[in-house]
Chains A and B, each alone.
Chain A
């Protein structure tokens, strides 16, 4: 009963390096999301995928790219990491995209950019 699985759990990068955060869900959900969480702030939406084959920008998309690989998997890529991208990243999924849809979250990737 895994739910939403994120890898890796921790990562340290140097400025300018690239990396991909992986996310997979086993609940057959249509919609998936990437958020970042910074101290003293609410979760902020980076990108989302309302359904397989579609992706859209959220509140803070600059410096990120995403790929909805299939219905299960949604990855987040940092092409050239910057210290401002130090954060905790959460992936979430929901049955479909809607304001009344509970979202199911993974346990996050803690990313530090030096």
Chain B
């Protein structure tokens, strides 16, 4: 089955450092990976989409990579701020069903 695996342990970093979150997937490489942010008590908010052939995508302080050899996507936040504290969800599409498969998310805590 096609799965998404994210580190369930919270990531704690100091303000100003770069946060790196990992997303591993199984089976076929998805054509796309999406990343969402979710704050407590709120719905997920779309951040970035990366295509299989893009390798890297940037948006302001965010950077996402896509490594089909390692079957892994990395999500980086540079110059992190306490306001970046949230849970980040990695999402892939299922080639079988055409539906999105969500990881359980990794919680990031940025300390001042």
Contact = CB atoms under 8 A, between A and B. Distances in A.
B31 interface: yes
B89 interface: yes
Contacts of B51: 100
Contacts of A105: 43-45
A102 B49 contact: yes
Among B8, B93, B99, the one with the most A-chain Cβ atoms within 10 Å of its Cβ is: B99
A99 B100 contact: yes
A30 to B, nearest CB: 14
Given A99-B31, A99-B32, A100-B31, A42 B89 contact: yes
Contacts of B43: 4, 90, 92, 105-108
A98 B99 CA distance: 8
Contact-size category for A: 20 to 34
Nearest to A105: B43
Interface string A71-114: 00000000000000000001010000111101111111000000
A103 B100 contact: yes
A53 interface: no
Contacts of A98: 98
Interface of B: 4, 8, 30-32, 34, 41-46, 49, 51, 89, 93-94, 98-105
